[in-house]
Amino acid sequence: MSEIRLARQSNMELLRIVAMLMVMVLHTGYASFGYPRTVWLQAEPLRWLGLTMTEVYTVACVNIFVLITGWFGTTFRTKGAVRLAIHPIYVTIVLALYVWLAGLPQPAGVMDYVRPIWSYWFVCSYLVLYLLTPMLNAFVEKSDEAALRRFLLVFYVITIPCSFVFADLQKGYSAVSFVGLYLLGRYLRLYGAARLQHWPRWRFMALYVVLMGTMGLVGWGAGMMSQTFMNVFVPFVVAYTNPFTIVAAGAMLLFFSRVRLQSRLVNWLASGSFAAYLVHQNILVRKEYYAYIRHLADVIPSTPLFMLAVLASIVAIYVISTLAIQVVIRMVK
């Protein structure tokens, strides 16, 4: 039984790693080089095609990460909440020491050293979701498939358009969006996977590739001709409530649910996924991360070599983050 459980965890833990690497790659696109303008696309079409496709193919990362939480049906525990709170505190302390030792620009005052602890939008939204999991799990247990499906349909029919209008929903950058993704993850685990069991595994990956690739190509092509379209396309493509992104994230989840894998190394690396996000998005070093990516683009003329350098840097940050966060993991078991 333990071997089966380990294999089942490892495939989804691998997806957790992939999702966090996607987050880090995502931030090498528009976040590092700026949101595209038509004149830029016309001047350097291939470069911006690459950046646009990078953005589109990795933007499902956050949705995937939350779907995994729903897939497992996480249950609130005090230690889990404490660990979530300690992670950003520990990472901020370590990075403050790094900034000082590396001679990077120092924060202006004491509060500027402390502010990074609560500056992560993802941590705040995820913590709220974690606090709500007992109620969400109870709702799922008391609902049959039809009731849960109806709720999800109504939820997304209302929240998707509203997220592009009302600031409270922030295009998916909110706990409300995470609640929907959590319940969607539960639905896919309890009902969706069985209903789609006749689908071969490759179809889920093909759906992801075709869906996101088409969106990227259409956006890039139309953006070459119209700045007005680009002004609409960019907020849509980077929104976590983008329906295409939600469907693609679900497809990726179902693809990895079919992967057979048993690996203690994968499970260990997955334990550092949250830390990798906290490290590269901490406001003490976030600008330096973006500047480093732009520097690589300036000094490496070859696109393949640039991509290899970026991937090597991302993997290095991920592994170092995983090693560093073991202190917190061992402290709060």
Which tokens go with 213?
Answer: 């690739």
Tokens of 34: 């700026």
> Residue 148's pLDDT band (boundaries 50, 70, 90)?
very high
Q: How many CB atoms lie within 10 A of CB 255?
A: 20
Average pLDDT of every residue of the chain? 90
Does 332 have pLDDT greater than 80?
A: no
Rounded to an integer, the average pLDDT of 7-28 is: 90
Average pLDDT over residues 215-234: 88
pLDDT digits 0-9 by tens, 54-111: 999 999 999 999 999 999 998 888 888 888 889 999 999 999 999 888 888 788 777 8
Measured from the Cβ of residue 32, the count of other Cβ atoms closer than 10 Å reads 18
- Structure-block tokens of residue 204: 């889920």
- Residue 281 tokens read as 């998005």
What's the pLDDT score for residue 79? Answer: 82
Q: For 200-214, what is the mean pLDDT?
A: 96
Q: Is residue 2 pLDDT above 60, yes or no? A: no
What average pLDDT does range 117-128 have in this prediction? Answer: 89
pLDDT in tens, 247-285: 999 999 999 999 988 899 999 999 999 999 999 999 999
Distances 28 to 21, 58, 179 between C-alpha atoms, Å: 11, 10, 28
1 pLDDT band, cuts 50/70/90, is very low
Number of folded domains that form the chain: 1
The answer on pLDDT for 4 being more than 50 is: no
- Separation between Cα atoms, residue 139 and residue 150, nearest integer Å: 13
Q: CA-CA distance, 88 to 107, in Å (whole number)?
A: 17
More confident residue, 311 or 329: 311
Per-residue pLDDT at 6: 40
How confident is the model at residue 103, as a pLDDT? 83
Q: What distances in angstroms separate CA 94 from CA 4, 98, 286, 327, 330, one per listed residue?
A: 37, 6, 14, 12, 17
Which residues form the domain of 114? 2-331
Residue 327: count of CB within 10 angstroms of its CB: 12
Residue type for 65, please? Answer: F
pLDDT digits (tens, 9 = 90+) for 168-177: 788 889 999 9
